[in-house]
Structure 1
Amino acid sequence: MIEHLGTANLVFLSLWFFLGLSLVALRRPLLMLLRGLHPQQATSLLLVAVFLPISISVATTVLLYLPLVNDFLIGYHCHDGVCSNHHPVGILPQAGPASLVLTVLALVAISRKSWRSTTASRRCKDSVRLFSRDRGDFLEVPDQQLLAFTVGLLTPRVVLSSGLLAHCDEKERDIVLRHERGHVLHRDNLRLLLAKMVSLPMPGAARFRGELRLGIEKHCDLIASKVHSRADVARCIVKLAEASCAAAPHTSSFVDEAVEQRVMALLNPAPRPPSPFITASTVAVMLTLAGLSINPLHHQIELLLFWLSE
């Protein structure tokens, strides 16, 4: 039993590794395609892309090793005169259990990272609540630095400093507040943390997360521009960027990300609204390709297992 489980786990790890490499190799054309979309849709698709390697690897491994599903996805074929639908033939007595140990170590590392991040976020939120005044829509911290960020994962709150409130006029305060409410509405701190967790073992994933953060900030800028002009939002970003300090770790800050790119996005023509057709067609194509790949992948994995077991 442990050898079958270990072999299936080795298949999962191999798929995850090669899919991660493939995603990194396709980073430039993928980002070029996403930049033509509305930031809301681009960030959603980018988040899906970051989750794809591990999601496809888990689903494919389950399908390959689940005989009831194999009847529909894997063609009838023979091994040593025995013809039937079955999970991939081949067991690796040594590599299989070793892969389980590797997976456990990876899960432990990811769990520790996740625990540290969530603990740091909770401590930051508790500290802010301890020293802040609740203004209803936001928490005001008595700090003369220009701070504007959201803190918390499941129930985030907007945090503005007294220095920022004094430094900004009424319009600028409303722009900042609407931007930060966008982070709260979409739970961006949680989305960024999840993206980091699932992409930790993936080489080059930091660039994807950087693009994800930039897209999230652009989307929140557009949320603020629904009430105020895009030029006013751009001026507010530049003004605060020149005078502000970075926010605390594990938070979404108003001027923490790519100020020049955000300003240029606001000064350029407004992007087209998100298209449900693009999202639906993308998901449909991915599901179709995944289903069609099961049968050839089954045979390739069998050849690989036979080769490794010799």
Structure 2
Amino acid sequence: MAITLNLLSIAVLVFAISVVFIAVISPFTLHRIAQFTFGIRKVILWSLVTAPWWIAISCVGFFWPRQQDIFPAALLNDFAHWHHVDIFSFTSWHAVTLLSASAYLLWSVTRTVYIRRKQASSMADLIGLSDIKLQHINGKQGYYSLPLPIPAAFTTGLLSPKIYVTTALKERVNEQELDIIVRHEIAHVESRDPLFKVVFATFAAFFPITATRELIKQFTLLTEQMADSAVTKEYDNLDVAQTLINVARMQRSVDSMHNNMGF
């Protein structure tokens, strides 16, 4: 138990140092990420956001004593400064580090659960307005209709994601544009983007707020671009781009109207 607690305190310290280091270098890395393919960009983003965890786990495995009070090499023993690896003092910096990390983890988990439950409750109330019957376009793509005056389409649900399109959007687009929009959302469903976005955001939450926002922004941009690319297998690139631009303009016009009205 003492060995475990001592090594956990070291892992927490290494984790914190790794977070700071990655937060410092990530702006330079993310600034150049657009030049790579989708697959490489995904690997880079997941590597950055999970690196502190792998480094911390590796640190525990690397420094775990193979024999009592002895590391694999004398150099490692001196480097780690193990004087009494089998003794854990509750008044040492090891204990303070673990206590601080435990308090932060508890606060972070509580905050995340609260936010997710609040979002789930709001989404459940919103989805309660949707039509029970599944809508179809071209006999294939399925989505649910939301009777809302805001032009929007989105996919929600972690394990069983579903597609929702507002009636305001349906009334402003033609059949081809609606098909492009729904295919875009289907690409999100097939890639399980809602689930992976939550997982990615959970890992990113351990970084400073600026780095967290940039990491999530880049991951969201990547998933959107991959969904766009999936639609171009059926439609011309220009048609896909023009449809998405039109939807963005609709949403901006609604936002502008609400701002002018004081909402």
**Would the TM-score normalized by the shorter structure come out above 0.5?**
yes
Cα deviation, 1:196-217, whole Å, max 9, x if unaligned, reads 2222232222211111111111
Residue identity matched to 2:205:
L
The separation in 1 between residues aligned to 2:122 and 2:227, in whole angstroms, is 22
The separation in 1 between residues aligned to 2:181 and 2:234, in whole angstroms, is 12
**Closer, same or farther in 2 for the Cα pair 1:200/1:66, shift >3 Å?**
farther
Q: Which has the higher contact order (CA 8 A, sep 6+)?
A: 1
Q: What is the aligned residue count? A: 238
| Corresponding residue for residue 58 of structure 2 | 59
When normalised by structure 1's length, the TM-score is: 0.68
| Corresponding residue for residue 271 of structure 1 | none
Residue identity matched to 1:131:
L
- Matched position secondary structure for 2:148: coil
Residue 220 of structure 1 and its aligned partner are, at CA, apart by: 1.1
**Closer, same or farther in 2 for the Cα pair 1:161/1:66, shift >3 Å?**
farther
The separation in 2 between residues aligned to 1:180 and 1:55, in whole angstroms, is 33
- Matched position secondary structure for 1:158: strand
RMSD: 3.0
Residue 148 of structure 1 and its aligned partner are, at CA, apart by: 0.6
Is the CA contact 2:10–2:94 (under 8 Å) kept in the aligned structure 1?
Answer: no
Is the CA contact 1:150–1:180 (under 8 Å) kept in the aligned structure 2?
Answer: yes
The separation in 2 between residues aligned to 1:167 and 1:27, in whole angstroms, is 40
- Matched position secondary structure for 2:158: coil
**Closer, same or farther in 2 for the Cα pair 1:78/1:26, shift >3 Å?**
closer
| Corresponding residue for residue 299 of structure 1 | none
- Matched position secondary structure for 2:155: strand
Cα deviation, 1:106-134, whole Å, max 9, x if unaligned, reads 22122113312432343244224321123
Is the CA contact 2:154–2:185 (under 8 Å) kept in the aligned structure 1?
Answer: yes
Cα deviation, 1:122-166, whole Å, max 9, x if unaligned, reads 324422432112325111111121011111222211110111111
Cα deviation, 1:220-259, whole Å, max 9, x if unaligned, reads 111111111111111111111111269xxxxxxxxxxxxx
The separation in 2 between residues aligned to 1:245 and 1:140, in whole angstroms, is 21
When normalised by structure 2's length, the TM-score is: 0.79
User: Which residue, out of 148, 151, 154, partners 1:149?
Assistant: 154
User: Which residue, out of 193, 196, 210, partners 2:198?
Assistant: 193
| Corresponding residue for residue 108 of structure 1 | 106
| Corresponding residue for residue 99 of structure 1 | 97
Residue 40 of structure 1 and its aligned partner are, at CA, apart by: 4.4
- Matched position secondary structure for 1:20: helix
5+ unaligned residues in a row in structure 1: which ranges?
A: 247-310
Q: Among the aligned pairs, what percent are the same residue?
A: 17
**Closer, same or farther in 2 for the Cα pair 1:159/1:131, shift >3 Å?**
same
Residue identity matched to 1:113:
R
Is the CA contact 2:151–2:250 (under 8 Å) kept in the aligned structure 1?
Answer: yes
**Closer, same or farther in 2 for the Cα pair 1:152/1:75, shift >3 Å?**
same
Residue 75 of structure 1 and its aligned partner are, at CA, apart by: 4.5
Residue identity matched to 1:170:
E
**Closer, same or farther in 2 for the Cα pair 1:13/1:170, shift >3 Å?**
same
Is the CA contact 1:6–1:99 (under 8 Å) kept in the aligned structure 2?
Answer: no
Residue 178 of structure 1 and its aligned partner are, at CA, apart by: 1.1
The separation in 2 between residues aligned to 1:126 and 1:220, in whole angstroms, is 25
- Matched position secondary structure for 2:171: helix
Residue 176 of structure 1 and its aligned partner are, at CA, apart by: 0.8
Residue identity matched to 1:239:
N
5+ unaligned residues in a row in structure 2: which ranges?
A: 136-141, 254-263
| Corresponding residue for residue 239 of structure 1 | 246
- Matched position secondary structure for 2:35: coil
Q: Which moved more, 1:29-38 or 1:175-184?
A: 29-38
| Corresponding residue for residue 77 of structure 1 | 74
